[in-house]
């Protein structure tokens, strides 16, 4: 099977593959007992990300269990600030921590040119995964969007209000632009290296896009992602680029018209009809099952999957996915239920 006939790649380019492609954000991770067993033997989360053996194993685990159409490389969006030279660590039970950067002096310590050498183990894992993929399955690379990465770099971790980041972005936009430009450069290098290692599509995660107002969204989400997409496309004109402006609401439409992506991941707040009429005419679409429904399971889960597929799959340019990542309490059996429902929806249309 050639790359052009892989269902995921065909759909991301707007086509009608023989079956609806499925992959799930965070499909490799804590809900799988085999992941938890491996994680318990590792030195820490970053050890998993930077060990080609472990990262390859974790990436492939869900494809051994489920009839998925793609693997997404097991890594983390915060390897980019780590590669830039910022101190990054993961506190057990607390999430990511970074030494915050909030001024020009902090920026001076960052170096995009060290990213690819520092992250070489990540690209080795990508190459190993690509070599081990079953026929017809694609490899997805990814990175965090500049705005989301900036929030972690400035806040020093997760945040509810992003006040330090917004104070800088809105109060000194020229100074903040220097940080964004550094992240754009590092992100392009990171994605290019994943592509060189075998990634056949890339997704740019803007997890905190919904925290911005209209003007901020245009400058700090749309414009940087368009810059990344244009640079990737210049070297790889046929490689699909997926954007994910999470919780951006009505600004999704501005994103799909202006961010330069081939496809958009849609969060659960969008109705299926709105996706069909307001987003799909402009780009391929991916999503948007609520991860909470995957946790709950039951007949309502199957009904919701069928509703999404019955409306969007006949249009082409559709990839089934969640509206965000798989949650840790998810029963793996519910993932199998979703995949079965998608396959049944395909069969019903034949």
Catalytic residues: 26, 30, 39, 76, 152
Show Cβ contacts of residue 28 under 8 Å, excluding neighbours closer than 6 positions.
35, 58, 59, 61, 62, 71, 72, 74
Q: Tell me which residue of 193, 187, 200 sits closest to 239, measured CA to CA.
A: 200
Cα–Cα dist 58/29, whole Å: 7
Residue 16 region, left (φ>0) first, then alpha (ψ -120 to 50), else beta? Answer: beta
DSSP 3-state of 56: helix
DSSP 3-state of 106: helix
Give the full edge-to-edge strand order of the sheet including 318-322.
Answer: 70-72, 138-144, 201-206, 241-245, 263-266, 284-289, 318-322
**Contact at 8 Å (CB) between 98 and 153?**
yes
- For residue 196, the Cα-to-chain-centroid distance in whole angstroms is 18
Show Cβ contacts of residue 83 under 8 Å, excluding neighbours closer than 6 positions.
114, 115, 116, 118, 119, 186, 190
Q: Tell me which residue of 262, 266, 241 sits closest to 251, measured CA to CA.
A: 266
**Rg for the chain (alpha carbons), in Å?**
19
Tokens 């009429």 sit at which residue? 277
Cα–Cα dist 96/152, whole Å: 8
Cis peptide before 108 (omega within 30 of 0): no
Q: How far apart, in Å, are the Cα atoms of 111 and each of 71, 82, 149, 181?
A: 30, 10, 15, 12
């Amino acid at each position: 099977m050639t790359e052009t006939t892989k269902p995921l790649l065909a759909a991301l380019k707007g086509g009608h593959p023989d079956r609806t492609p499925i992959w799930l954000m965070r499909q490799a991770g804590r809900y799988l007992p085999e992941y938890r067993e491996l994680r318990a033997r590792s030195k820490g989360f970053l050890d998993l990300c930077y060990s080609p053996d472990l990262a390859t194993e974790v990436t492939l685990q869900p494809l051994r269990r489920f009839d998925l159409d793609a693997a997404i490389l097991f890594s983390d969006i915060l390897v980019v600030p780590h590669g830039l030279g910022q101190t990054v660590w993961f506190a057990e039970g607390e999430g990511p921590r970074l030494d915050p950067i909030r001024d020009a002096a902090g920026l001076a310590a960052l170096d995009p040119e060290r990213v690819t050498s520092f992250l070489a183990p990540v690209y080795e894992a990508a190459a190993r995964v690509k070599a081990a993929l079953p026929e017809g399955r694609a490899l997805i690379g990814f990175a965090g969007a500049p705005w989301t990465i900036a929030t972690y770099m400035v806040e020093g971790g997760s945040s509810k209000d992003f006040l330090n980041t917004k104070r800088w972005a809105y109060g000194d936009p020229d100074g903040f632009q220097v940080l964004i430009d550094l992240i754009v450069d590092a992100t392009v290098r990171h994605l290019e290296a994943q592509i060189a290692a075998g990634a056949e599509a890339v997704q740019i995660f803007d997890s905190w896009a919904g925290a911005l107002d209209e003007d901020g969204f245009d400058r700090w989400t749309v414009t940087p992602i368009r810059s990344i997409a244009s640079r990737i496309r210049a070297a790889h004109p046929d490689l699909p680029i997926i954007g994910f402006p999470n919780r951006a609401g009505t600004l999704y439409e501005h994103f799909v018209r202006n961010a330069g992506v081939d496809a958009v991941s849609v969060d659960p707040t969008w109705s299926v009809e709105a996706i069909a009429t307001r987003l799909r005419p402009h780009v391929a679409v991916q999503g948007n099952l609520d991860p909470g429904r995957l946790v709950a399971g039951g007949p309502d889960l199957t009904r919701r999957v069928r509703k999404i597929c019955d409306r969007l799959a006949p249009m082409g340019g559709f990839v089934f996915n969640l509206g965000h990542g798989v949650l840790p309490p998810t029963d793996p059996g519910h993932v199998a239920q979703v995949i079965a429902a998608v396959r049944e929806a395909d069969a019903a249309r034949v």
